[in-house]
Amino acid sequence: MFFFGAGCRREQVDPFIGTARFGNTFPGAVVPFGFVQLSPDTPHGSFGGYSWDDRVIVGFSHTHMTGGGAGELRDVLVMPGTDHIHIRPGEGGERGYASPFDKRSEYAEPGYYRVTLDKGPVTAELTVTPHVGIHRYTFPATDEANILIDLRHGAPVTEAYLRFVNDREIEGYRFSRGWVKDSRIWFVIRFSKPFEHAVIARSGRYVNGRPRAQGRDLQAVVTFSTHEHEKILMKVALSGVSLHGARENLRQEAASWDFGEYREKARRAWEEPLGRVRLHGATRKQKRIFYTALYHTLIAPYLYMDVTHRYRGMDGKIHKACGFDNYTYFSLWDTFRALHPWFSIFLPSKNTQFVRSLVKKGEEYGTLPKWELYANDTRCMIGYPAVAVLADAMAKGDTSFDLEKAYELSVKTAMQDGEGLAAYKELGYVPADAADQSVSRTLEYAYGDWCIARMAGMLGKEKDSLYFIRRSGNWRNLFDTTTGFFRGRYRDGRWVEPFDPDLESREYTEGTPWHWLFVPHDLPGLIRAEGGEEPFLALMDSLFVSKVRWFDAETYRYIYGFVGKYAQGNEPDHHMPWAFAFTARPERSIPVIRRILQFRYDDTPDGLPGNEDAGQMSAWYIFATLGLYPLCPGSGEYALSLPMVPKAEIRLENGKTLTIRLEGDPGKAGKVREVRFNGRRLPRPFISHRELMEGGELLFLTE
């Protein structure tokens, strides 16, 4: 068992990577898969709440999305200060509670964040347990040290409540409606010393002499007298169930006032998973990118139940999780591709909990959720991506969840009529005059149907398997042999005109026809449809080498990180660099993947090519660095390319070690001569999940 020491971990994990431009990550404190993400919010913060380029902090809120493509959460904002009490953030000047800060004072590591605010000055330190945010504020000598709690900050409030329980404790809740239609957070706040004065403001006016208030626009301010360098601690416990749940979370997870103890526990919580992968021969920059990517894959999904195992379900009722842990933040359209397959290798026991959560959510909701957050299905994106996660787990031998219920829910989800499915079942494609994103919907439905067919086959349901296999071939109904692309067509069969493969249009989801060569379940069929291997390779050359004829940032709203026409910054084409594995020229993937890793990932705040998307962008990087990729989740195998480091060791949960080794220079190798697994030559550029989990050595020999 090997771990990274505290000294080198700061060099190898940088939470600021991804906080500039597109990444939408946050730099604050979180433990692996924790419910609380305690992080600074800035005035021009991205969907993660924070922007590297800002020099003003509005406050520290307790819930954040890691790399989401939509803004949400940021519940229960807290801000310390020493000047006149303000209840509006302002612009960071003298008339608001927001404060400028010196970038040089800012520091972050896994589980800990620190910054010195100019106003005061006040030094803020943050750490966490799974359900509790721990604050430590160092004040100057003053009679006006104050801490503000702002419930107005974040998604639009539908109802909020605040009550001073005594001179050390505040309780309340915050319900909001934004992208998440019904988000509910209860909280209990406790201070390390009694506050001397306390006031509540509602709708911009102080509620004098009252210990409680209800409304949509609530703030509370408590004040203290402090001596020079005095530290005041604050614990904020959250629950998605009730005040009782928040108080119990606080009691069981944060009984002491030793900030260092909580920071050390958070550090240890990160050391175990981060220490299970060791890279040999990698550059310092590669290690920083890789281990930060590994860190990002361990943030979501979020634990979504109290220490008592009670949680709010998708039916709006309170349940108790029996035999599983309940999680939330399933960005499934993104994460089915690489994040969940990475969990199946690295954290299979955790992936089982995620799968059980999804099945339970399906039971509560009636169908499988598409994009779930805080017991709400946001209905964001397309297809039925939860099916891919379930099928992949089943194909990899996970039988610890209810397979029959998972299959039943998958079929029920696929047999609905909305979002173009009625026409899809009738015609074999989604017509452009029946729904927008018609091409992308058709391709995603076809892949999802293949996943269901796989599940049916594994469960011995032969009739069902044949039905869904036939449906999985529906991609052919939108393939235009004259252009070699998938195109929109109307119900009467006419193609949508005009057609430009470089153009993002309403027939495609966050991409162009180039990005929607999406047939991971039948790439040999796609190659034949393109006219054979040589035309397909010529198409791939155009994808990865030719540039778009023009670029307009407003038109390409969701497309970032170009390599040729390929866009690493969004998910639809993430499988395409590995499509060469189905040709006689699998080595053609090597320079493509090398270019993506070299030019689209960096160890800077702008180091992600697009939204982190709950860990998908980082999981892609991890797989690419290791030289393998789950090209088609549900198949139970991984396509092989070339490791980009000489050697990597992964300590598996079953106690075995998987070693991936390259003989040759990863920066110069142009072709893999042979791949051996535990001394046996692999006949194809693929390896099964079962083989990987045996441990041993995966050896790449180059020429």
Fold topology of 306-416 = Glutathione S-transferase Yfyf (Class Pi); Chain A, domain 2 (1.20.1050)
Q: Are 516 and 440 in contact (CB under 8 A)?
A: yes
What are the sequence ranges of the domains in the chain? 6-273, 306-416
Helical residues (DSSP H) of 459-556, grouped into ranges: 462-472, 523-529, 533-545
Backbone angles phi, psi at 249, to 5 degrees: -60, -40
Pairing of the two strands 672-677 and 696-702: antiparallel
Q: State the pLDDT at residue 209.
A: 79
Going by pLDDT thresholds of 50, 70 and 90, the confidence category of residue 90 is confident
Mean pLDDT on 273-285: 95
Mean pLDDT on 290-303: 98
Q: Within 10 Å of residue 294's Cβ, how many Cβ atoms? A: 23
For the segment 351-392, what is each residue's pLDDT rounded down to a tens digit?
Answer: 999 999 999 999 999 999 999 999 999 999 999 999 999 999
Q: Are 520 and 472 in contact (CB under 8 A)?
A: no
Tokens of 53: 């380029």
Tokens of 660: 């991936």
Q: Within 10 Å of residue 499's Cβ, how many Cβ atoms? A: 16
Q: State the pLDDT at residue 591.
A: 96
Helices and strands, number each (H, E), in the chain: 17, 37
DSSP for residue 476:
G
Q: State the pLDDT at residue 366.
A: 98
Going by pLDDT thresholds of 50, 70 and 90, the confidence category of residue 555 is low
For the segment 481-490, what is each residue's pLDDT rounded down to a tens digit?
Answer: 999 999 999 9
Angle at 670 between CA 668 and CA 673, to 5 degrees: 120
Q: Are 401 and 363 in contact (CB under 8 A)?
A: no
Q: State the pLDDT at residue 1.
A: 32
Q: Look at 417-431, 664-678, 688-702 and tell me which has the smallest mean pLDDT.
A: 664-678
In the numeric block, the tokens 């509790």 are attached to: 132
For the segment 217-266, what is each residue's pLDDT rounded down to a tens digit?
Answer: 999 999 999 999 999 999 999 999 999 999 999 999 999 999 999 999 99
For the segment 283-293, what is each residue's pLDDT rounded down to a tens digit?
Answer: 999 999 999 99
Q: State the pLDDT at residue 69.
A: 81
The distance from CA 366 to its chain's CA centroid, rounded to whole angstroms, is 24
First-to-last C-alpha distance (Å) of the chain: 34
6-273 belongs to which CATH class?
mainly beta
For the segment 162-192, what is each residue's pLDDT rounded down to a tens digit?
Answer: 999 999 999 999 999 999 999 999 999 999 9
Mean pLDDT on 533-541: 97
